[in-house]
Amino acid sequence: MSIDLAAAEELFAVSTDATVGLEEEFAILDAASLDLVPRFEELRDLAAAEDAVLSVAIAGELISSEIEIRSGRGEDLHDALRRQRDARNRLFTLAESRGVALGATGTHPWADYRDQRNIDTEHYRRVVDGLRYVARRNNTFSLHVHVGARDLDRAVRACDRLRPVLPLLLSISANSPYLDARDSGLHSARSQAFTKSFPRCGIPDAFGSWQAYREYIDFLIRTESIIEYTQVWWSIRPHLSFGTVEVRICDAQSTAAESEALSGLIVASVAQALRDIDEGVPFSDPPRRLIEENFWRAIRFGQDGTLLDLDRGEGFPAAAAAERLLQWTAPVRAELGIDPAFPSRNGAQRQRQAIDAGASMQEVFAAAVRETSQTYVQEAETA
């Protein structure tokens, strides 16, 4: 396989700002026990035979007990959401007909990663062969948002500007307190298990230009560190196959409303970063080590903690992260018609409240799965 960087430049040259693609990952569960079950191939084959729309909207991930829904390219956020709601409804209907439930938390609370079967594709065989334990250990679920960006240089510089934003988005989205049948003590155990383990993952360096980023990719190719671009797993990256800025920092969301609100906030953040670049808005580019400080705080405490204002060198309540991003993105949100609303407590906070009240791990997860089954299908039906 080859990585065609010249073709990527051409693709971004004709890309359109603020087109949107959504990717939501779900755990495939036994409806009674809520254990992970390896039934992706069954659902994929049924979709291929029975539902032409769903067959192109679903995709496999690393393990056979995970399934992803993709909106495809929407001309804007609202178009992408319409597509995604339709695909969700089809998937949940198919899953229910086969006695399968779908979960949307960043981790499965008690599943043993050693029991999970990897799907049999060339890409994932390569991932498992290359990373071994690191790949096998990664049984996590997330939300990815693609936002169109014209010109690769602008896309790289937008990624640079969004690096300090990533911990705020993670704090808002934290939804995985459990891992390995234990309360991890974290709000996003998914981030610790995946982002802190995979190579070329988490908060990237600032590159400053497409030329510098290209030199980095060329180095990885020349040294045989990667042979396909998706082996660059940064939490934000220009996606060279789609002509987009892809934001990959968020946990999967237990409710459709939260997933859609996060998607809207991410789209607005990318669009505002591009606008700020075009208008020459000054930007202080903080060192990665300082952004990592906020990244850890988001992993550990989510919305319950304190994040750092890196310009001022002082703390602020993490619960104010969404409002800060809403204020910053107000100009483009007004133009794009994006007005996300978030609940008073995010997924991790709701789970931790139940934990503190004495609920068992099984009861906490069952409540999250109920939220998913009730809201994702309802959103599709009422769109």
Average pLDDT score over residue span 79-86: 97
Count how many domains the chain has: 1
- pLDDT tens digit sequence for 7-63: 999 999 999 999 999 999 999 999 999 999 999 999 999 999 999 999 999 999 999
Given pLDDT bands bounded at 50, 70 and 90, which one contains residue 120? confident
139-174 residues labelled b (16+ CB within 10 A) or e (exposed) = bbbbbbbbbbbebbbbbbbbbbbbbbbbbbbbbbbb
Residue 327 above 60 pLDDT? yes
In percent, how much of the chain has pLDDT > 70?
A: 98
pLDDT in tens, 362-374: 999 999 999 999 9
Lowest mean pLDDT among 113-127, 245-259, 336-350: 113-127
379 has pLDDT over 50: no
Q: Evaluate if residue 187 carries a pLDDT over 60.
A: yes
Helix (H, G, I), strand (E, B) or coil at 124: helix
Q: What mean pLDDT comes out for the span 150-172?
A: 98
Mean pLDDT of 342-348: 98
Q: Which residue has the higher pLDDT, 318 or 125?
A: 318
Residue 104 is which amino acid? Answer: A
Tell me: pLDDT of 186 over 60. Answer: yes
- Give me the pLDDT at residue 378, please: 61
**Predicted pLDDT of residue 284:** 87
Find the mean pLDDT for residues 322-338. 98
Contact 70, 22 (CB under 8 A): yes
**pLDDT tens digits, residue range 212-259?**
999 999 999 999 999 999 999 999 999 999 999 999 999 999 999 999
Q: 64 pLDDT exceeds 70?
A: yes
85-97 average pLDDT score = 97
Q: Which contacts (CB < 8 Å, 24+ apart) does range 226-229 have?
A: 226/3, 226/200, 227/1, 227/3, 227/126, 228/1, 228/3, 228/123, 228/126, 229/3
Give the range of the structural domain holding residue 332, as residue numbers without chain letter.
5-382
Q: CB–CB of 23/63 below 8 Å?
A: no
- Averaged confidence pLDDT in the chain: 95
Looking at residue 383, what is its pLDDT? 38
The DSSP output letter for 119 is: P
Q: Are 318 and 301 in contact (CB under 8 A)?
A: yes
> Can you tell me the distance from the alpha carbon of 377 to that of 93, in angstroms, rounded to the nearest whole number?
8
124 band by pLDDT with thresholds 50, 70 and 90: confident
Evaluate if residue 104 carries a pLDDT over 60: yes
Cα(298)–Cα(296) distance, integer angstroms: 5
Strands (E), the chain: 20-30, 58-60, 66-70, 100-103, 142-148, 178-179, 182-183, 201-202, 233-234, 236-239, 244-251, 306-309, 314-317
CATH number at 133 reads: 3.30.590.20
Percentage of the chain exceeding pLDDT 90: 93
Cβ-contact 324, 213 below 8 angstroms: no
Q: How many CB atoms lie within 10 A of CB 196?
A: 12
